[in-house]
């Protein structure tokens, strides 16, 4: 069965690179699910082994925070926060700094993808209304959301996977990641100010106003103070519990999600409709495919052979480099699944979380958050191609990775 497993693995990860498979209407989720189906149907992976391969604590934690974010979206919190931010009577450089702080802070607790999905359309409207060039602000939103999400073990899917699989302490990880991510946000602000060179005005050729018929992407456009307060209270309680209570994070999060679903005003259909079920299915498919490959012994053999020639992925520097390269090749979630077995160093989990997340700013395809922002810009007539993104994404990525590498090397927060 090894040739079949290897073939399925290679096809699945080719799909991760290409975003699908040629001549087939399959996206990354469809490719991962199809690969898992082939392995189970062929007998290469038994049904019991497939069930055991799926790491339910990670899925439970991910699902729960999708429900919390859905509560805040339907309560209009993200829309309200973005509009309050855009109404600040400050000059563009300070507005940019405030945006970085808000996006980074929200993404540390809620998913970076959700923050970008909720804030990007409103931010584009506000920039156009203030006759500001929206491109620097939209790209900063994506960069800050990615960087901020690296600060905690709940900020993005790959961090949840790392934290739950390696049983990392929430407080210890926060202590190790807070400084590099905080410095990364500050460096990002400085870089954008330098790269923008004071050119904040809306350039010719971009729309001067948003058409009245522009579709509303955000489900909650009016602030419901009670529903927003309810969601924020649950998130705050969960964060406090993660920091101070030694109970399983997935069970605590499920309890919080269950509480929010028992609502007299928000129908569960609306809440669950905002859950990213495709991402959950992607995780399940990749769990099965990667388990099958690990069972062949080929990854362990490859790690041993690389170590023999001086590239030991269990050491921090090679793991850091491999995470950066793979995250931009197959995206960060599949890359983390591949590299998790090698994260045996005491700082391996922190290193893998920081490097895989910060690497996502390099190119548009490196992060779902980037894609969400670019698509929101296009709907408002604001073109952002890969070159425009790379002018900001490449220096931000290289500088923030350097900050993280130096911080980890010096043992900051240990």
Q: Where are the domains of the chain?
A: 55-282+297-409
Kindly tell me if the per-residue pLDDT of 12 is higher than 60. Answer: yes
Asked if pLDDT for residue 212 goes beyond 70, the answer is no
Q: How far apart are CA 326 and CA 336, in angstroms?
A: 8
Rounded to 5 degrees, φ, ψ at 134 are -75, -15
Q: What is the dihedral of CA 213, 216, 217, 220, to 10 degrees?
A: 180
pLDDT in tens, 111-169: 898 899 899 999 999 999 899 999 999 999 999 999 999 999 999 999 999 999 999 99
> Phi/psi of residue 201, each to 5°?
-70, 150
- What contacts 68, CB < 8 A, 6 or more positions away? 110, 231, 234, 235, 238, 253, 256, 257, 260
| pLDDT bucket at 92, cuts 50 / 70 / 90 | very high
For residue 215, what pLDDT is reported? 42
| CA angle 286–106–101, rounded 5-degree value | 125
Instruction: Report yes or no: 244 and 39 within 8 Å, Cβ to Cβ.
Output: no
pLDDT at 381: 87
**Each residue's pLDDT tens digit, 54-85:** 999 999 999 999 999 999 999 999 999 999 99
pLDDT over 50 at 218, yes or no = no
The residues facing 132 across adjacent strands are 201
At residue 214, the pLDDT reads 44
Tell me the pTM.
0.89
pLDDT of 205 higher than 90: no
In this model, does residue 183 exceed pLDDT 80?
A: yes
Report, as an integer, the average pLDDT of 375-397.
91
Band the pLDDT of 357: cuts 50, 70, 90.
Answer: very high
* pLDDT band, very low/low/confident/very high, at 414 (cuts 50, 70, 90): very low
């Amino acid at each position: 069965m090894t040739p079949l497993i290897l073939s399925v693995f290679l096809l699945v990860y080719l799909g991760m690179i290409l975003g699908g498979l040629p001549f087939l209407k399959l996206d990354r989720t469809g490719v991962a699910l199809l690969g898992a189906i082939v392995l189970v149907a062929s007998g290469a992976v038994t049904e019991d082994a497939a069930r055991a391969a799926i790491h339910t604590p990670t899925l439970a934690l991910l699902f729960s925070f999708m429900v919390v974010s859905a509560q805040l979206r339907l309560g209009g919190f993200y829309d309200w926060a973005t509009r309050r931010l855009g109404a600040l009577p400050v000059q563009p450089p300070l507005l940019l700094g405030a945006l970085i702080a808000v996006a980074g802070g929200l993404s540390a607790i809620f998913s970076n993808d959700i923050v970008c999905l909720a804030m990007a359309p409103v931010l584009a409207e506000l920039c156009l209304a203030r006759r500001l060039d929206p491109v620097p602000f939209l790209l900063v939103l994506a960069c800050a959301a990615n960087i901020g999400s690296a600060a905690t073990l709940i900020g993005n899917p790959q961090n949840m996977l790392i934290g739950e699989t390696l049983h990392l302490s929430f407080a210890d990880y926060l202590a190790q990641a807070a400084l590099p991510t905080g410095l990364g946000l500050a460096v990002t602000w400085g870089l954008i100010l330098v790269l923008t060179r004071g050119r904040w005005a809306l350039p010719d050729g971009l729309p001067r106003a948003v058409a009245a018929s522009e579709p509303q992407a955000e489900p909650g456009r009016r602030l419901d103070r009670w529903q927003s307060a309810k969601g924020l209270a649950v998130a705050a309680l969960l964060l406090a519990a993660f920091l101070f209570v030694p109970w399983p994070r997935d069970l605590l999060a499920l309890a919080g999600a269950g509480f929010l679903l028992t609502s007299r005003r928000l129908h569960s259909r609306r809440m669950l409709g905002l859950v990213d079920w495709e991402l959950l299915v992607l995780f399940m498919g990749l769990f099965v495919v990667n388990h099958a490959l690990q069972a062949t012994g080929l990854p362990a053999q490859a790690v041993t052979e690389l170590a023999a020639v001086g590239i030991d992925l269990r050491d921090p520097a090679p793991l850091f480099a491999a995470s950066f390269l793979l995250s931009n090749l197959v995206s960060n979630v599949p890359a983390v699944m591949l590299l998790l077995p090698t994260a045996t160093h005491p700082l391996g989990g922190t290193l893998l979380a920081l490097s895989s997340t910060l690497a996502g700013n390099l190119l548009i395809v490196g992060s779902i958050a980037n894609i969400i922002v670019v698509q929101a810009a296009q709907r408002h007539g604001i073109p952002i191609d890969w070159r425009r993104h790379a002018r900001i994404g490449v220096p931000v990525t290289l500088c923030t990775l350097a900050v993280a590498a130096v911080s980890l090397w010096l043992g900051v927060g240990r």
